[in-house]
Every structure is written in structure tokens, then in C-alpha cells.
Amino acid sequence: MAATLNHVFYGWYPYIALTVFLLGSLVRYDREPYTWRSGSSQLLRRRQLAMGSILFHVGILIIFLGHAVGLLMPVAVFEALGISKLAKQLMAIVVGGVAGIVCLIGLLILTHRRLFDARIRATSSTGDIAILLLLLAQLLLGLATIPLSLGHLDGKEMVRFMSWAQAIVTLQPGASAYVADAHPIFKMHLLLGMTIFLVFPFTRLVHVWSAPVWYLGRRGYQVVRRAGDGPRSKPQRTVPIDRPAASPAGVITSIVKPAE
């Protein structure tokens, strides 16, 4: 019975969660585009929101990238880079622990704000509160794995989870066997993490897909006004610039075009 449950939760469930995560996000974006938002309540307790949001997002980004690289990069790549299993384990514990504490502080601030401010709670849906509590439970479980990891500095436990994750991603059979004998806290952490992926399309977390990373590579724009322009003057069109030319007087003139 235990072997069957292990296979269901760690062999089948990951594919169910990932399928709902990807297809559910796509369907929601296509059918309900106006719900594709974070549902901000920033007009209330703005200072508390800013502090909690910054701490939470910085911490969660480091944790996510650390998990992605740590679980999905083959052991051979780390060895080729000269990173031993002990060094990788210690790096994961230290960096993950610090990021986890930062994220926890931010999440507690956000949770307190949403639960104990009557006006914010009145505008919060059940899903808003549920996802915060899910993330909080997952974060606490993750921090609870640190003492266990300190007892496995040889890297065997770490390689076990790396093998499981890579087997799932590469569609290898028997992936669940890698975690069959793992500590219950590790297994609960994995299970709750997959559950967050499962419910992702039905919560405000979908705004992650809309992170404005394209801002980093967009072309610059510059608005130029000429002497004598007033409120009723003919509007000017702004255009992207790469290398704006300058007149002898130092005034940029080459990018201004009258609106048609």
C-alpha cells in the first residue's frame, strides 16, 4: 500500500500538477484575460505592503532559482565546475536558509496585513487567503528541512532529490523510487510544492507570467519640445532612438516628427 501511494504521489501527481499548471494558465489567459492580475490593494497600508512585498519577492526569487538550478542541473555539471557535493550542500543550506528567512519575514508581513486589516480582508477572496497560507506552510516546511540536510552533508540525500526531479522532467519511468525512503518532511515539502503548481492557474499567482522582464531590453524613448511649443501646439511624435544626433547647440533634433 505504501509503495502504491508513493508511486501515485511522486510518480503520477507531478505530471498532473504540471499539466494543470501549464494548460490551466493558458486557458485562463485565453478565456478570462481580465482576471489576469495580482488584485492589488496598495491604497491600503502602502508602507507595510511595500516592505512585505519586497522581502517576499526577493526571497522567493532566490529560492525558486536555487531549486531550479540545484534540482535540474546534472551532478556531472557541478563536478565539471569544481563544485563538490559538500560545497553544493552547504551553499544550498546557507543561501536557501537566508533567502527563506527573508521570504518568511515578508510573507508574515503580507499575511498579517491581509488577515488583520478589516478593509483588506473584506476585499480578499478565499483564494487570496488560501494561497498565502499554502505558501507560508511550504516555506516553513522548507526551513524545517535545513536541520535534516545538515545531517546529510555527504550529498546522498541531495542527489536523491536531484535524480527524482530530473527523472520527472525527462519522463523516465520509476521516478518515485528515488524518494520512497526520504524523510517525511522532505516528502511533504515536495507534495505541497506540486500542489502549489496545481492551484497556480486559479489564483493571483498567474501574474508571475506577466513579469515585465522585457523592460530590461526595450529601446529608449525621448520626448523633445522645441522653443515656443505651447499647450495648443501641434503634438509631436516620439520615436525609438539608438544614437540620437545633436545639433551644434547640443539640442537633439533628429527624432522629432510632427503627428500626421
Q: What is the mean pLDDT of residues 65-86?
A: 90
* Pair 123, 87 in one domain: yes
Taking CB atoms within 8 Å and a gap of at least 24, the contacts of 175-183 are 175/10, 175/11, 175/14, 176/6, 176/7, 176/9, 176/10, 176/11, 179/6, 179/10, 180/3, 180/6, 180/10, 182/157, 183/145, 183/148, 183/157
* Number of domains the chain contains: 2
* Pair 70, 192 in one domain: yes
pTM as predicted: 0.76
- The pLDDT assigned to 223 comes to 63
- The pLDDT assigned to 250 comes to 45
Average confidence score pLDDT of the chain: 83
Instruction: Provide CB contacts within 8 A for 223, sequence distance 6+.
Output: 236, 238
Q: Which residue has the higher pLDDT, 241 or 34?
A: 34
* Pair 78, 173 in one domain: yes
* Pair 108, 228 in one domain: no
* Pair 227, 139 in one domain: no
Q: What is the mean pLDDT of residues 209-213?
A: 71
Q: What does the alpha-carbon distance between residue 241 and residue 13 come to, in Å, rounded to a whole number?
A: 50
What percent of the chain is modeled with pLDDT above 70? 77
> Could you tell me the residue range of the domain that residue 237 belongs to?
219-260
- The pLDDT assigned to 37 comes to 65
**Residue range 131-189, pLDDT digits in tens:** 999 999 999 999 999 999 998 888 888 889 999 999 999 999 999 999 999 999 999 99
For residue 1, name the pLDDT band (cuts at 50, 70, 90): confident
Residue 242 has pLDDT above 60, yes or no: no
* Pair 13, 115 in one domain: yes
For residue 241, name the pLDDT band (cuts at 50, 70, 90): low
* Pair 17, 94 in one domain: yes
* Pair 176, 254 in one domain: no
Q: Are 136 and 47 in contact (CB under 8 A)?
A: no
- The pLDDT assigned to 248 comes to 47
Strand stretches in the chain, DSSP E: 220-221, 236-237, 240-241, 257-258
CATH assignment at residue 133? 1.20.950.20
Which of 106-110, 113-117, 182-186 shows the lowest mean pLDDT across its residues? 113-117
Coil, strand or helix: which one is 242? coil
* Pair 142, 253 in one domain: no
Q: Assign residue 114 a region: left if phi > 0, alpha if psi is -120 to 50, beta otherwise?
A: alpha
* Pair 51, 103 in one domain: yes
* Pair 37, 74 in one domain: yes
* Pair 92, 173 in one domain: yes
Q: Are 131 and 199 in contact (CB under 8 A)?
A: yes
- The pLDDT assigned to 164 comes to 96
The identity of residue 198, as a single letter, is: L
